Amino acid sequence: MNLPLSRADHHQSTQDGHTTAPTHVSTTIRPTIVYVHPHLTMRTGATNFVLNTAVGLQERGWPVVIVTGQADPAIVGERKLDIVELGGPLPSDPRHWMGLGGLERRVFATLDRIPNKVLFPQVHPANYWAFAYKAARPWVPCVWMCHEPSAFVHSWSNIRSLTGPMRLATMAANPALQVLDRLLVAQTDHIIANSRFTASNVRRIYGRDADAVVDSGLGPEAFDVPRIPRDCILSLGSLTRFKRGDLAPHGYALARRELGDKLPPLVIAGDGPELPKLRALAAKLGIEKQVCFTGRVSDADKRLLYARARLFIGTAPKEPFGLTPVEAMAAGAPVLAPDQGGPSETVVDGETGALYRSGDAADLARQLVGLFANPLRLARMSAVARQHVCARYTLGNTIASLSDALDAFAVAEREHDARRYRSPAKRAAFSFDVAPGCRRAVRPRAKAGRAAAMSAASESTHMGNRTN
């Protein structure tokens, strides 16, 4: 398939660092998709999206590089990916922000060494790294994968969930941050949203439409569920203030007043700063014997909990996508979710679960009572939920949609270039070196690295097979 060169390859850098206008273009080199992601050190939904889709795009013939702060080999696993680590503290460390100038210099040096590229920034703050690079290199195509608009800039519920000096500083800086955020996002050429809800926020905040919606599908392991008795109600996720984990015990306590012991025990899985408060809340509500707090759980334990769940309760209001409800349905657990945000799209109300008014514990309790008052209906929902996710939310579907979107953007880039440049390109074989201060991540069983050969011809240029 013929795809355009990155506009970065159409410009020549002079010795003083300035660029000159291009004189030619080729339409037959497939560009390298450069993921820009804060770090690969935690098993988050965004990190899984990066790693899994990067492998999938490679399998579809896209060259891929991941530029990140740090990469944990245990998180990367056996995936054969070219990962460049920028080094330095994580964004949760104040030293990260104090050393932002040095980090951005490493970002620029790294990206300048990758020819024929399309920037593919992910979540904050790595999207800002890429946007700043795009502002300085406006000819480099940039496609932002918007998992959500910067939450601690545009969401006051998230800002209010902060505590102490961080909350005060964020509130004081918010007007300036909003201006900066909009200026940076304006640099990007295309936006992909992870849900229709996120797309609507893009339109509301930035005044432009997302060019595509690509959700986060699940790999085959999510559907490999052990057959064990379903004996609990499950709520799983990070126990932070803005996730509103208090809704689950509040709603559960109200429902028990009507159903009593007909309601299975509630399991709250996950860890976070709100855990002590939730334990105290369960005791205050008189349900401490019916509520089990597991703390942090492994991936294997999480799959077992999904398999045990007769119902999954999601609590986070206005979740951009919400992966845990999809994982629960894949395991055959119907989902009770807020009627706002991504879960209101993934959960089919009355078929794969039910929706309650976001933030309303009384309505959550009402839905709980209705579901458990009809066990046969709940059992039917279990089967339908699994079928729904198998048909709609698979990793294969996600990768195919993402590849199609990138192909469509490539056509637009090619048409843009054809209007400006005429003669075909001639390019020599190339590879890229890691910038000073950075390093390639060490992969199990495979040395991280990338070599690509390009043979120059008068009419067309073809990229050789990529080796790992």
DSSP string covering 42-53: S--HHHHHHHHH
d(CA 144, CA 142): 6
State residue 461's pLDDT score. 29
* Both structure tokens of 53: 């889709």
Looking at residue 8, what is its pLDDT? 34
Query: So what's the pLDDT on residue 4?
Result: 31
Domains of the chain: 7-217+395-463 (3.40.50.2000), 220-392 (3.40.50.2000)
Q: Which amino acid is at 178?
A: Q
Q: Quote the pTM value.
A: 0.80
Measured between its terminal Cα atoms, the distance across the chain in Å is 22
Q: 137 in helix, strand or coil?
A: coil
Q: Output the CA–CA distances (angstroms, integers) from residue 87 to 42, 111, 441, in the order listed.
A: 16, 15, 10
How confident is the model at residue 271, as a pLDDT? 92
Beta strands in 314-416 (DSSP E): 335-338, 353-356
pLDDT for the residue 85:
95
pLDDT, block means (10 residues), the chain with 468 residues? 32 35 45 96 91 96 96 94 94 86 95 95 94 95 93 67 69 80 92 96 94 92 89 94 93 95 95 94 95 92 95 94 95 96 95 96 96 94 96 95 92 58 36 65 45 30 33
Structure-token match 């609507």, residue found: 200
Residue 36 near residue 64, CB atoms below 8 Å: no
pLDDT of the residue at 230: 95
Q: Which residues contact 306 (CB under 8 A, 6 or more apart)?
A: 225, 234, 236, 312, 327, 328, 330, 331, 332, 333
Tokens 């910067």 identify what position?
Answer: 150
Read off the pLDDT of residues 98-136 as tens digits, 9 standing for 90 and up.
888 999 999 999 999 999 999 999 998 999 999 999 999
Q: Report which of 294, 170, 175, 286 is spatially closest to residue 234, judged by C-alpha positions.
A: 294
Closest CA to 72 of 95, 44, 101, 42: 42
pLDDT in tens, 40-52: 998 888 999 999 9
Specify the pLDDT at position 417. Answer: 56
Per-residue model confidence (pLDDT) at position 442: 52
